[in-house]
Amino acid sequence: MRSFLLTSVFVLFFMNTFAQVKGNRGYHVTVGEQVPNLTLHLTNGKTVTLNQMRGKIVVLQFTASWCSVCRKEMPHLESEIWQAFKDKNFILIGVDYDEPLKKVQAFQKEMKVTYPFALDPGAKLFQHFANKGAGVTRNVVINTTGKIVFLTRLYEPKEFNAMKDKIAALLSDD
């Protein structure tokens, strides 16, 4: 039992300590890198670029309707991130991995999330941050100058709370 506990503690420490290291967990970007000026096509018909969102804290949430872990994380993103910060200098955008508009709109409605969603045909946006086959359930936190400041993979409450704390700290610096 003691060996199991020590192994578990080591694994959690390793995951949280090295979560921000380049190439870790399928990412090929790292904290501190500048994001390119990507164009996002929102499900409401509008188009925005990352450069247009400079000056805001941006979270890109990579998701898909078929992803069970995404579905587990989304209510927390809605209540603990979006509802908490949406009236501040902040935007959260769900980036749906290669699904058609009607499916993404139905997914957003089913999940009862109110943050905006963007389409990602062919997972081209996703591939700017992670390897195509690396799997969704990722959050990329971008600061007001367009630099990556936090990366998550899967839904793990401790990492999610660390992301939430990072966002709150960035917003308090404004």
Check which CATH number belongs to the domain holding 103 and give it. 3.40.30.10
Instruction: Kindly tell me if the per-residue pLDDT of 174 is higher than 70.
Output: no
How many whole angstroms separate alpha carbon 43 and alpha carbon 27?
26
**Which tens digits make up the pLDDT trace of 60-116?**
999 999 999 999 999 999 999 999 999 999 999 999 999 999 999 999 999 999 999
Angle, nearest 10°, between helix axes 157-173 and 2-17? 30
Residues 36, 142, 113, 25, CA torsion sign: positive
Question: Are residues 61 and 95 in contact, defined by beta-carbon separation less than 8 angstroms?
Answer: yes
Q: Quote the pLDDT of residue 17.
A: 39
Q: Please name the residues in contact with 94: beta carbons below 8 A apart, sequence gap of 6 or more.
A: 61, 63, 74, 77, 108, 113, 115, 116, 117, 118
In the chain, the number of structural domains is 1
Grouping H, G, I as helix, E, B as strand and the rest as coil, residue 148 is: strand
Share of the chain above pLDDT 90, in %: 80
- Look at residue 87 in the predicted model and tell me its pLDDT: 96
Number of helices (H), then strands (E), in the chain: 5, 7
Residue 133 has pLDDT above 90, yes or no: no
Residue 39: which domain range?
Answer: 2-173
Euclidean distance between CA atoms 112 and 105, whole angstroms = 11
What are the φ/ψ torsions at residue 137 (nearest 5 degrees)? 65, 65
Mean per-residue pLDDT over the chain, rounded: 89
Asked if residues 55 and 88 have their Cβ atoms less than 8 Å apart, the reply is: no
Tens-digit pLDDT profile for residues 101-110 = 999 999 999 9
Q: What value does the mean pLDDT take over residues 7-17?
A: 41
Average pLDDT (49-69) is 97
Which helix H or strand E contains 153, and what residues bound it? strand 148-153
Q: Name the pLDDT band for 1 (thresholds 50, 70, 90).
A: low
Q: Tokens in use for 149? A: 């400041």
